[in-house]
Amino acid sequence: MQTKNKINQLFAEQQETGRKLLSLYFCAGCPTLDGTADVIQTLERRGIDMIEVGIPFSDPLADGPVIQSAGTVALKNGMTLAKLFAQLRSIKQDVHIPLVMMGYLNVIMHYGIEAFCKSCVESGVSGMIIPDLPFTDYLNDVKPIADKYDLRVIMMITPETSEERIRFIDDHTDGFIYMVSSASTTGAQKSFDDSKQAYFKHINGMGLRNPRMIGFGISNRQTLESAQQNAAGAIIGSKFVTLLNESGGNADVAMDQLYDALSK
């Protein structure tokens, strides 16, 4: 059965053309409560292929200081999951690229897994990344509901993930695999060293079924090209969040600055 899921469609097109993808992350509700719709529409207009919409949480374990701070600001601004879904529903008909919700299990469980998946579909969301979701819970509790709603649950791998585990994830997920560039938290880096390059090349040589996107630390030309050479594309989070905050929420200004940084 041919899926209508936008994530699968994007990567099917990427594999045909070989064009490298660029995905951006931002935290909904930061720097302004009502900026979500404008940020998403601006990023699509500026050529971004996929967007990760961060759900603010008080204790984001995998995130570095930039994204932690963004979550704190968003919560102080009054952002909630219900408000976020309402904002996404308002632009559902105008957004054509995949949206992926990124958030921690506590918030999603409080909302309710089935209710969350239903709201994702109603809001034009194609998938989710839940960094602290145990794989057993994913298989038993989350995947059956996500499959029912044709949503993709994206799993992360790091340099510490065993080859056996990577193949198990590849066999039981769909959409793409999120390759974390290092075992540390998120945050911009100036370059990827030889060990990271070797990790990228090793995973690229495994012949996995799912395409991969590389994230964590991408902030300039060197890190972007290194990621794109060894995967379907790159994910940028902290660098864009910083620029968006500095611009006061003006996504066009932030994109100008990001593209400038990625050219150097």
Question: Does residue 63 carry a catalytic annotation?
Answer: yes
Torsion angle of the four alpha carbons 57, 237, 44, 152, in this order, in degrees rounded to the nearest 10:
-60
Query: 185 near 62, Cβ under 8 Å?
Result: yes
172 backbone dihedrals φ, ψ, rounded to 5°: -115, 15
Looking at 44, 49, 63, 170, which residue is catalytic? 63
DSSP 208: -
Q: Which residues lie below 8 Å from residue 54, measured CB to CB, with a gap of 6+?
A: 25, 26, 27, 28, 67, 70, 71, 74, 102, 103
What 3-state DSSP class applies to 197?
helix
Residue 255 is encoded by which pair of tokens?
A: 């994109």
Looking at 52, 160, 174, 193, which residue is catalytic? 52
CB atoms within 10 A of CB 154: 24
* CA atoms of 52 and 7, how far apart (whole Å): 12
Question: Does residue 94 carry a catalytic annotation?
Answer: no
Catalytic center residues: 52, 63
